[in-house]
C-alpha cells in the first residue's frame, strides 16, 4: 500500500514519518515550491512530545528547542494573574513542554523522513473518487491517481472542500502579528512562557533559545482587519509593560508575520471513501491553547496506528476518527472560549476577569492540562 499525503506542514510530515516507521510507503504533494523558513515559534506541549518520544525524535527536538517550566497569565503590566508550574506534570509524563523555532522543527521532520518522494509546487485544486481510485488535479495542470489519500493541507484544505463542500471556516475577528527577535528576557524568564492580557488585545512572550524570543501580539477588530492602522505596531500595545513594545520594536518589520485568527466549524465526518483529513484540515482550532499542531501530531500518530496492518482503509479511518474526534473537538471549543475571555473589550469586565483569574487555584488549571496531556490510546 502506498499512501498519498497532500500538504507538507507539521501534520503531513509527522504522518509521513509515522507511516514510514510502520513500513508503509508514502508520497507527499506540497503546494509551496520550496520548504521556506517560517519566522515564528511554536510550543510543543507534553501531549505531542510524548508522541515524538514514541517516534524516537524527543532528543532531536529538545536539542533545538527550549524547555518551558511553566506559563504565566499576566495583566498588561506583566503582573502575574496565574502561574502554572508544570514540573510535576513533566515527572508524571516523563517529557516536558518545548518551545522551538518552526524552521528548526521543520528541519528535524524533513531530516527524519526516509527516502520519500516530495513533489513541491503541487497545489491541489480538486479531487474526485471513482471505482476505488482518487483522482487528483493540480494547479499546474497535472494529474495524479492514488488509492489512499490523506488531506493534511491546512485550514483552507482543498481536499476537505472537495469531499465536504459545505464545511466552513470561522473568523475570530482577531488579527495576530508574530515575530522572533534577539532579546534577553533577564534572569528567571528563560524557561517561562507569558501571555499578557489587556483590553481587546494580548501579547505572548516565549523564549525559544538562549537570547531568542518568539512573540505574538493579537488585537480584536469590529468589522474588518483593514480598520487597524498598524504602521507603528508597538503603539497598538503602548498600554502594556515597556518590555512588550521593546520586544516588538526590536523585530525587523519585514520579519513580522500577520495572520487572521480563526478555526473550522466542527465537521461531523473526517473521511469519505478513500480520503481522510488530518490536522488543521480536519480540526483547525484558534491558537489560544497553543494546541493546533499538537493535535495534528496526535492525529498523525493515531492515524498511522489505525492504518498499520489494516487492509480495510475505511475501517481504519473510522477507528481514527472515533479515537481522535472527542479530544480535538474539546480543544476547538475550549480554545474559542479562551480567545473571547482573553480579548474582553469592556474595561470593567476585563478587571473582573483578571481578579477571577488571580483567585483561581493552579490545581484547577493542572486538572485541565492533564486532560490535554493524556493521550487517547
Ligand X SMILES: Cc1cc2nc3c(=O)[nH]c(=O)nc-3n(C[C@H](O)[C@H](O)[C@H](O)COP(=O)(O)OP(=O)(O)OC[C@H]3O[C@@H](n4cnc5c(N)ncnc54)[C@H](O)[C@@H]3O)c2cc1C
List residues near ligand X by CB under 6 A.
6-12, 29-32, 42-43, 122-124, 152-154, 158, 176, 178, 216, 259, 279-281, 287, 290-294, 296
Q: Closest distance between ligand X and the C-beta of residue 359, in Å?
A: 27
Q: Closest distance between ligand X and the C-beta of residue 7, in Å?
A: 3
Nearer to ligand X, 221 or 358 (CB): 221
Q: Closest distance between ligand X and the C-beta of residue 78, in Å?
A: 20
Nearer to ligand X, 69 or 358 (CB): 69
Residue 335 in contact with residue 285, Cβ under 8 Å? yes
Nearer to ligand X, 8 or 198 (CB): 8
Neighbours of 198 (CB within 10 A): 23
Nearer to ligand X, 129 or 358 (CB): 129
Q: In sequence order, what DSSP letters do the residues of 262-331 get, joined into one string?
A: EEE---S-SEETTEEE-THHHH---GGGS-HHHHHHHHHHHHHHHHTT-S-HHHHHHHHHHHHHHHHHHH
Q: Closest distance between ligand X and the C-beta of residue 6, in Å?
A: 5
Q: Closest distance between ligand X and the C-beta of residue 159, in Å?
A: 7
Q: Closest distance between ligand X and the C-beta of residue 273, in Å?
A: 19
Helices 313-342, 292-307: axis angle to 10 degrees equals: 170
Helices 10-21, 292-307: axis angle to 10 degrees equals: 30
Residue 317 in contact with residue 271, Cβ under 8 Å? yes
**Which residue(s) pair with 207 in the sheet?**
213
Order of all β-strands in the sheet with 97-101: 41-44, 97-101, 66-68
Instruction: State the alpha helices, DSSP H only, in 119-241.
Output: 158-163, 233-236
SS3 content of the chain, % helix, strand, coil (to 5): 40, 30, 30
Nearer to ligand X, 148 or 296 (CB): 296
Nearer to ligand X, 29 or 93 (CB): 29
Amino acid at each position: 500500500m502506498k499512501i498519498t499525503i497532500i500538504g507538507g506542514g507539521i501534520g503531513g510530515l509527522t504522518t509521513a514519518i509515522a507511516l514510514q516507521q510502520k513500513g508503509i510507503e508514502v508520497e507527499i504533494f506540497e503546494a509551496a515550491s520550496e520548504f521556506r523558513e517560517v519566522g515564528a515559534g511554536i510550543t510543543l506541549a507534553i501531549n505531542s512530545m510524548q508522541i515524538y518520544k514514541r517516534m524516537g525524535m524527543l532528543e532531536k527536538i529538545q536539542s533545538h528547542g527550549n524547555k518551558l517550566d511553566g506559563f504565566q497569565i499576566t495583566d498588561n503590566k506583566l503582573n502575574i494573574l496565574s502561574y502554572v508550574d508544570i514540573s510535576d506534570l513533566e515527572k508524571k509524563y516523563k517529557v516536558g513542554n518545548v518551545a522551538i523555532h518552526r524552521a528548526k522543527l521543520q528541519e528535524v521532520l524533513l531530516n527524519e523522513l526516509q527516502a520519500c518522494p516530495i513533489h513541491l509546487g503541487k497545489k491541489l485544486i480538486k479531487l474526485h473518487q471513482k471505482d476505488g481510485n482518487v483522482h487528483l488535479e493540480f494547479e499546474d495542470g497535472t494529474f495524479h491517481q492514488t488509492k489512499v489519500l490523506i488531506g493534511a493541507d491546512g485550514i483552507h484544505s482543498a481536499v476537505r472542500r472537495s469531499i465536504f463542500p459545505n464545511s466552513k471556516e470561522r473568523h475570530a475577528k482577531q488579527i495576530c502579528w508574530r515575530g522572533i527577535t534577539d532579546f534577553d528576557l533577564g534572569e528567571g524568564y528563560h524557561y517561562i512562557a507569558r501571555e499578557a492580557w489587556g483590553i481587546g488585545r494580548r501579547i505572548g512572550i516565549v523564549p525559544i533559545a538562549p537570547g531568542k524570543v518568539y512573540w505574538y501580539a493579537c488585537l480584536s477588530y469590529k468589522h474588518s482587519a483593514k480598520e487597524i492602522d498598524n504602521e507603528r505596531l508597538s503603539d497598538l500595545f503602548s498600554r502594556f509593560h515597556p518590555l512588550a513594545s521593546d520586544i516588538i520594536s526590536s523585530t525587523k518589520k519585514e520579519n513580522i508575520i500577520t495572520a487572521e485568527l480563526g478555526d473550522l466549524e466542527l465537521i461531523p465526518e473526517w473521511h469519505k471513501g478513500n480520503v481522510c483529513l488530518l490536522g488543521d484540515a480536519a480540526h483547525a482550532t484558534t491558537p489560544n491553547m497553543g494546541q493546533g499542531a499538537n493535535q495534528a501530531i496526535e492525529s498523525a500518530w493515531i492515524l498511522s496506528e489505525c492504518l498499520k496492518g489494516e487492509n480495510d482503509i475505511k475501517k481504519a479511518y473510522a477507528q481514527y476518527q472515533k479515537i481522535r474526534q472527542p479530544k480535538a473537538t474539546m480543544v476547538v471549543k475550549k480554545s474559542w472560549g479562551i480567545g473571547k475571555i482573553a480579548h474582553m473589550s469592556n474595561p470593567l469586565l476585563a478587571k473582573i476577569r483578571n481578579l477571577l483569574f488571580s483567585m483561581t487555584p493552579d490545581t484547577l488549571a493542572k486538572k485541565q492540562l492533564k486532560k490535554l496531556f493524556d493521550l487517547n490510546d
